[in-house]
Amino acid sequence: MNRIDALFSSLKLEHRPALMPFITAGDPDLATTKALIEEMVVRGADMIEVGIPYSDPIADGPVIAASYTRALRKGLKQAEILKTIRSIRDEAGSGPLSRTPMVAMLSYSIIHRQGVESFLKRAVEAGFDGVIVPDLPVEESEDLAGLAAGLNVKLIQLITPTTPRDRALAIAKSTTGFIYYVSVSGLTGERQSLPPDLADNVSWLRTQTDLPVCIGFGISSPDQIRELSPVADGLIVGSALVRRLADAEGKPREAVVDDIGRFVADLSAALR
């Protein structure tokens, strides 16, 4: 069974949503990325979303876009990212990391350049369980979805507050693993408050599909986690983590990893 399916089956029995931190691969370096993934799982993360840096982010706000730029300026190669993920899986043994899903978020241009089947096979070999491709319209996703299904890779697609409901249903039908519901219109980034109709929109979507519905964009605090946990199957926290990494530039890796770990632990505690 794909790790994503196994996770949501397990959490359904626990009656709680998944905590899904996002980090940018290679920011500030891949050794830190590896240490952060391992620490976040220890501190309560249920799934890890790994951003694969690319030069023209589609939906990413300034915090995440800057992290991509930092990583690319250092000459980061995709092969090195896959090797790092593989090393995490190899060293996990039978511990929690062996069961923790990891999902890659990346531009379709990266996949297309390598060849869809070739990329997916390499992603599976590295240990990824799913892909999020924000710039791939649902109308053009059939080939990728078919090849991904054959390799037991989930194709997670996005639905936004401005997506018409008939289109949202079409996206849901072509999605596997879980639906990524974008909480706010616009770019990623921390928000002090979330839209008042967010809960209603997600509740409606959950009546239309058997897939888990996970909320991302703008979630940045334990209070927001507590607010949304009754209506979501998963909660994605990205910019708040990436900003902490940027603010910690120059600090020892151990201190940075511990700081991120404590923040993830606070978010995890809010779910329980």
Q: Which of 114-118, 180-184, 267-271 has the lowest mean pLDDT?
A: 180-184
Q: State the total domains in the chain.
A: 1
Question: Rounded to an integer, what distance in angstroms lies between the CA atom of residue 51 and that of residue 110?
Answer: 12
Question: Rounded to an integer, what distance in angstroms lies between the CA atom of residue 118 and that of residue 150?
Answer: 13
Whether 205 is covered by a domain: the verdict is yes
User: pLDDT band at residue 102, thresholds of 50, 70 and 90?
Assistant: very high
Question: Rounded to an integer, what distance in angstroms lies between the CA atom of residue 250 and that of residue 96?
Answer: 30
pLDDT (average), residues 258-263: 96
For this structure, is 91 an active site residue?
no
Residue 99's contacts (CB-CB under 8 Å, 6 or more residues apart) are: 3, 6, 7
For this structure, is 49 an active site residue?
yes
144 and 133 Cβ atoms separated by less than 8 Å: yes
Residue 58 predicted with pLDDT over 80:
no
Q: Which of 57-61, 187-191, 260-264 has the lowest mean pLDDT?
A: 187-191
Whether 120 is covered by a domain: the verdict is yes
Whether 217 is covered by a domain: the verdict is yes
Residue 192 predicted with pLDDT over 70:
no
Helix (H/G/I), strand (E/B), else coil: 77: coil
pLDDT (average), residues 147-153: 97
Q: What is the CATH number of the domain that holds 200?
A: 3.20.20.70
Q: Crossing angle for the helix pair 239-247 and 253-271, nearest 10 degrees?
A: 150
Higher pLDDT, 190 or 66: 66
* Catalytic one of 60, 129, 190, 227: 60
pTM: 0.93
Output the average pLDDT for the chain: 91
Whether 220 is covered by a domain: the verdict is yes
Question: Rounded to an integer, what distance in angstroms lies between the CA atom of residue 21 and that of residue 251?
Answer: 21
Whether 28 is covered by a domain: the verdict is yes
Whether 271 is covered by a domain: the verdict is no
Strand 18-24 to strand 48-51: parallel, antiparallel, or no bridges (unpaired)?
Answer: parallel
Whether 32 is covered by a domain: the verdict is yes
Torsion angle (degrees, nearest 10) of CA 211, 63, 123, 91: -100
Whether 272 is covered by a domain: the verdict is no
* Catalytic one of 27, 46, 49, 129: 49
Residue 190 predicted with pLDDT over 70:
no
Q: How confident is the model at residue 250, as a pLDDT?
A: 86
Residue 93: which domain range? Answer: 3-265
